[in-house]
């Protein structure tokens, strides 16, 4: 990996860390903190691609990593948070609602459900 890719990949991994920490906070009942971490991840996600372009650090690996990280941080983390904060009391229906969030996220910011 060339040095130019290190900065955007580092930002992308930070986004993954924030999504993961958001999940841990949600599990611990700290729903507001979990939401803040996912929101911070979303803000960083808005700049990682731009930074990669500006430093000419775009790589195929970075693109795949970004897709994976987006699925975790903006699919799984929000679904877990929503389930634990709101939908767990609805049993299997709540599980289904949470699953739709995960299934609808393709890591590209666009719904991938049945595409």
Model's pTM, two decimal places? 0.86
Considering only CA atoms, which of 20, 78, 19 is closest in space to residue 44? 19
Sign of CA dihedral 50, 43, 1, 6: positive
With b for 16 or more beta-carbon neighbours within 10 A and e for fewer, the 31-47 pattern comes to beebbebbebbbebbee
Residue 56: left if φ>0, alpha if ψ -120 to 50, beta else—which one?
left
Q: What number of residues does the chain have?
A: 115
Note the pLDDT tens digit of each residue in 47-86: 988 888 899 888 888 889 999 999 999 999 999 999 999 9
Taking 50 as the threshold, does the pLDDT of residue 102 lie above it?
yes
The confidence score (pLDDT) of residue 4 equals: 82
Q: Give the pLDDT band of residue 16 (cuts 50, 70, 90).
A: very high
């Amino acid at each position: 990996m060339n040095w130019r890719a290190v900065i955007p990949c580092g930002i992308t991994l930070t986004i993954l860390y924030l999504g993961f920490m958001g999940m841990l906070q949600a599990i611990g009942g700290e729903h507001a903190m979990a939401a803040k971490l996912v929101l911070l991840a979303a803000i960083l996600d808005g700049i990682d691609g731009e930074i990669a372009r500006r430093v000419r650090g775009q790589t195929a690996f970075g693109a795949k990593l970004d897709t994976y990280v987006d699925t975790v941080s903006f699919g799984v983390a929000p679904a877990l948070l929503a389930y634990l904060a709101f939908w767990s009391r609805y049993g299997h229906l709540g599980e289904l609602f949470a699953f739709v969030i995960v299934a609808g996220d393709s890591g590209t910011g666009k719904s991938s459900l049945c595409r």
